[in-house]
Structure 1
Amino acid sequence: MKGLLIAVCGLDGSGKSTQIQKLENWFRNQQLPTLLTKQPTDYYRQDLRVREYLDNGQCGSMEALAMLAAADRIWHIKTLIEPSLKGGVSVISDRYLFSSLAYFSARGLDVQYVKQLNNGTLIPDLTVFLDVEPEILLQRISIRDGKTTKFEEREPTMFTKVREAFLNEVLPSNALIIDGTLSEEEIHKIIIGELNLIIKDKIIAT
């Protein structure tokens, strides 16, 4: 069976990392080959133009940043994700296209413009969005990071804009939206329940 592409999305502090690790462990326990990756990749994150915005809020062209993100994503898909899926390896991506759409929308770009830049992006077999109220996210990040927060994490309204973009504009209709304030085990159980249904459908189809 071809590998599955699973995208786990959510704002910082939503519990993504915990659920991704649990999901990876589940695949390994089932003796199913899996690859854990993330978008955007470190090539994008470490670009000085990107860091200037993320750290200090300075940006000469938001459109150019969106192009950089799209190029990074397409390269990542073509060189890593697609070959892995074809080889029967399931890929778990920490964030994906939908995160880019939501964040750039909150930064003032038109969603359709960003979608066009990412034309042809693979559609995940499962998209998970961990939904948490902005006030709770800010509390979690403050406890986790102290004063070393990124530029966008210093503006509370940004969290609201990104969350609204996720829920109202960019998530696919079949996205699994989960209350991120549930316990870690409850969230994991919901994800695995949906994943088992997808795997069953894939087996029947083949």
Structure 2
Amino acid sequence: MSPQGVFITIEGGEGAGKSTQIARLADRLRAAGHEVLTTREPGGTPGAEAIRALMLDPARHFAPLADTLLVFAARADHVAAVIRPALERGAVVLCDRFTDSTMAYQGYGLGVGRTTIATLETMIDLTPDLTLILDLPEPVARARLARRGSATDRYEQFDAEFAARVAAGFRAIAATAPERCVVVDAASGIEEITDALAALIRARLGLAIA
């Protein structure tokens, strides 16, 4: 659990709309009077953003375990420098990806031992208060990514089988932690999804949200 504030993570595969929904939820939470920090993983600090650039570079290749250790190095810096201080002053932290993404991508997707990832998670020693998993059919996700028109990063270049393993991983994670995780259909309209997420934050955490 978070020290004093509220730690909410938004998870899901590529093209699920996490960044859009985080921005919209942040606006609603601020309108209700909360201090809100929005951040992302890998990233959130200069060092973690440098690691992110390495990990997403399509010209680079990392062995799956190296990939995992890189993301946890970025996470350790991010948690110490950004997330914990925000929680300690009572803020609501909205984070685009956290440890569940590592389990889904590196564990279920790339085959790194889940026990290894779970051990690294204990070293970070921070569990979200609520995890909202945006679930999107792979063909819809691919269509959304194509509409962006920008160059694909390393993870977006993985094949449909990898995406299916990641999606299955997120659902498995949610099934094992129903008190923390909720899977939300991300194929509907943006406003409808925001309303659903806001309702879950209100019901699960008792937070006021516009």
Provide TM-score, normalisation by structure 1.
0.86
Q: CA deviation at 1:163?
A: 0.5
Conserved? CA contact 2:86–2:93, under 8 Å: yes
Structure 2's unaligned 5+ residue stretches are 44-48
Q: 1:4, 1:43 → 2: CA distance?
A: 27
Q: 1:104, 1:39 → 2: CA distance?
A: 14
Q: Map Cα deviations across residues 108-156 of structure 1 (whole Å, 9 max, x no partner).
A: 211121121221431111100000011111111111135x222432312
Q: 1:193, 1:138 → 2: CA distance?
A: 28
Aligned to 1:115: 118
Conserved? CA contact 1:3–1:86, under 8 Å: yes
Q: Map Cα deviations across residues 65-122 of structure 1 (whole Å, 9 max, x no partner).
A: 2112112112211221111111011100011110111110211211121121221431
Q: 1:152, 1:36 → 2: CA distance?
A: 22
Aligned to 2:41: 39
Match of residue 199, structure 2, among 187, 193, 198: 193
Q: CA deviation at 1:57?
A: 5.8
Q: 1:124, 1:151 → 2: CA distance?
A: 27
Match of residue 164, structure 2, among 157, 160, 173: 160
Count of aligned positions: 196
The structure with the larger Rg is: 1
Structure 2 residue 32 is matched with structure 1 residue 27:
no
Structure 1's unaligned 5+ residue stretches are none
Q: CA deviation at 1:169?
A: 4.0
Structure 2 residue 141 is matched with structure 1 residue 134:
no
Conserved? CA contact 1:38–1:93, under 8 Å: yes
Which range is displaced more, 191-200 or 36-45?
191-200
Identity of aligned residues (%): 26
Q: CA deviation at 1:58?
A: 2.1
Aligned to 2:185: 179
Conserved? CA contact 1:57–1:152, under 8 Å: no
AA aligned to 1:110 is G
